[in-house]
Amino acid sequence: MTPATYRGGAFVSAARRLGLEIVVGLDTPPGLASSRSPEVLALDFKAPEEAVQRIVSFAREHPLQAVLSVDDSAVELAALASAALGLPCNAPDAAEAARDKYLMRQRMAAGGVPCPVFRHFPLTADPAAIAHTVSYPCVLKPLRLSGSRGVIRANTPEEFVTAFYRLKRIVLAEGFDEGSTGFLVEDFIPGFEVALEGLLTAGQLQVLALFDKPDPLDGPFFEETIYVTPSRLPAAVQEAIRSCVERAAASIGLREGPAHAELRVNEQGPWMLEIAGRSIGGLCSTILEFGAGMCLEELILRHALGRELPSLERRPEAAGVMMIPIPQAGMLKGVSGIEEARQVPLITGVEITAPLNNPLVPLPEGASYLGFIFARGESPAAVEEALRSAHRCLRFDIRRELPVLNAALTPPAPPTPSERAHPHWG
């Protein structure tokens, strides 16, 4: 995991509940990973071969039963390390295809999976020349970022050129090399968006939860907000979605472990936007509970260890989460109304995760949320309404201070060593 991941805490607690001994492979310089509980193995995710070697030497002294990535950041490393240790896992090339949007699209198209028409261009291309060769509306997207970062809709050639330069700045600020990376241009697929959380066993997909995303995601940027499960789509459409995701997983070679997929659904049926070999991001998994009270991370850990899985039935009531969007760039000075939001019927939690006195960077440059609101209730509609009411109670004091004014234009700086040294997983 990376120090900034939202997902570490849930996995560490689940491992403790299962009585597992764990070591956290942390993307951090060796000096910064000192005596902690759980034990930390410092790794450099940007140097995967060396990181695999460190994991393999560590495993000689402390045999490992499974290597898992808690989010997107280490899925390829986990697959490489598992392969080196002879542990069951997705093939490294499948993990790579699930991280690289161009490879993913190529494999999905070859596998006959319904997905948008796509074209790949180098970052060194002249956008004005390309702009007249693509169809509109289209979506420009970087190959290897996540959380909708750098994903921008363009309706006209002029918007295409502007979007191109914005995407390019984001990709270069992430340390990618202009000469060796590219970007995708896809047809914009209209429709209703859903997210599927599943578990793959020998290529068979078990749906753990299907989420509706009731807020329209029409761009120009694609900020996630509300997820509600169970889906209100008809059963036949839900089955079409499941089968589409299973085929998508097969087309890229994902066979084992968690899968998180995003799809659009319109009158032509489901369209695959993306599948990842990891579980749902942020703090969203908090709302998922299976069988007699097992959380998603416990299921994933048990599955990875080949242990028997108890019921995969989700708790019967409806549940939902709102990823609280960042309304504007600026410095977060205060948040009020949290208690009021917590008092809204059906609300089970409100977590503000953005630290005070820190710059907020909205999409397409930013990579985080203000926080999360959770709800449970009898019906998806009631849960959705509760999330909206709670959100209306919250007031964010965001100051447009000078250095931040440019945040929307300037990609955020990578975390400093001291930020990297203060992980969220505690």
Residue span binding ligand ADP (CB under 6 A) among the ranges 16-24, 46-54, 148-156, 204-212: 148-156
Q: Residue 147's CB: how many other CB atoms inside 10 A?
A: 20
Nearest residue (CB) to ligand ADP, 115 versus 299: 115
Beta-sheet pairing, 257-266 with 395-399? unpaired
Distant-in-sequence contacts of 281-284, Cβ < 8 A, 24+ apart = 281/6, 281/7, 281/71, 281/72, 281/146, 281/147, 282/6, 282/7, 282/321, 282/323, 282/369, 282/372, 283/6, 283/10, 283/321, 283/351, 283/353, 283/372, 284/227, 284/321, 284/323, 284/372
Among 78, 80, 217, 304, binds ligand ADP (CB under 6 A): 217
For residue 189, state whether it binds ligand ADP (rule: CB under 6 A).
Answer: yes
Among 75, 77, 81, 145, binds ligand ADP (CB under 6 A): 145
CB of 183 to ligand ADP, least distance (A): 11
Residue span binding ligand ADP (CB under 6 A) among the ranges 183-191, 299-307, 357-365, 381-389: 183-191
Nearest residue (CB) to ligand ADP, 41 versus 139: 139
Among 71, 76, 186, 197, binds ligand ADP (CB under 6 A): 186
Binders in 190-209 for ligand ADP, by CB under 6 A: 193
The residues with which 354 forms a beta bridge, in sequence order, are: none
CB of 194 to ligand ADP, least distance (A): 10
Nearest residue (CB) to ligand ADP, 146 versus 231: 146
DSSP string, 61-93: HS--S----SSGGGHHHHHHHHHHHT-----HH
CB of 34 to ligand ADP, least distance (A): 33
**Helix axis angle, 296-304 to 8-17, nearest 10°:** 70
Which among 20, 80, 92, 73 has a CA at the least distance from the CA of 50? 80
Among 11, 222, 290, 374, binds ligand ADP (CB under 6 A): 222
Nearest residue (CB) to ligand ADP, 168 versus 303: 168
Among 151, 170, 200, 283, binds ligand ADP (CB under 6 A): 151
Nearest residue (CB) to ligand ADP, 366 versus 371: 366
Among 69, 82, 90, 146, binds ligand ADP (CB under 6 A): 146
**Helix axis angle, 235-252 to 101-110, nearest 10°:** 110
CB of 208 to ligand ADP, least distance (A): 19
Contact 51, 22 (CB under 8 A): no
**CA angle centred on 420, ends 417 and 425, rounded to 5°:** 160
What is the number of the residue whose Cβ is closest to ligand ADP? 222
Beta-sheet pairing, 330-336 with 23-27? unpaired
What phi and psi values does residue 259 have, to the nearest 5 degrees? -140, 135
With the C-alpha atoms ordered 402, 407, 411, 415, is the resulting torsion angle positive or negative?
positive
The residues with which 78 forms a beta bridge, in sequence order, are: none
CB of 137 to ligand ADP, least distance (A): 8
Nearest residue (CB) to ligand ADP, 93 versus 215: 215
CB of 263 to ligand ADP, least distance (A): 9
Residue 63, C-beta contacts closer than 8 angstroms, at least 6 positions apart: none
Residue span binding ligand ADP (CB under 6 A) among the ranges 21-29, 147-155, 245-253, 407-415: 147-155
CB of 104 to ligand ADP, least distance (A): 9
Residue span binding ligand ADP (CB under 6 A) among the ranges 141-149, 228-236, 373-381, 415-423: 141-149
Residue span binding ligand ADP (CB under 6 A) among the ranges 8-16, 43-51, 139-147, 370-378: 139-147
**CA angle centred on 167, ends 165 and 170, rounded to 5°:** 110
> With CB under 6 A, what is the number of residues at the site for ligand ADP?
19
Q: Residue 201's CB: how many other CB atoms inside 10 A?
A: 12
Alpha-carbon span 282 to 70, nearest angstrom: 11
CB of 326 to ligand ADP, least distance (A): 16
Q: What ranges in 174-292 are assigned the alpha helix state H? A: 235-252
Site string for ligand ADP, 246-285 (x = CB under 6 A): ----------------x-x--------xx-----------
The residues with which 323 forms a beta bridge, in sequence order, are: 372
Binding site for ligand ADP (CB under 6 A): 116, 139, 141, 145-149, 151, 186, 188-189, 193, 217, 222, 262, 264, 273-274
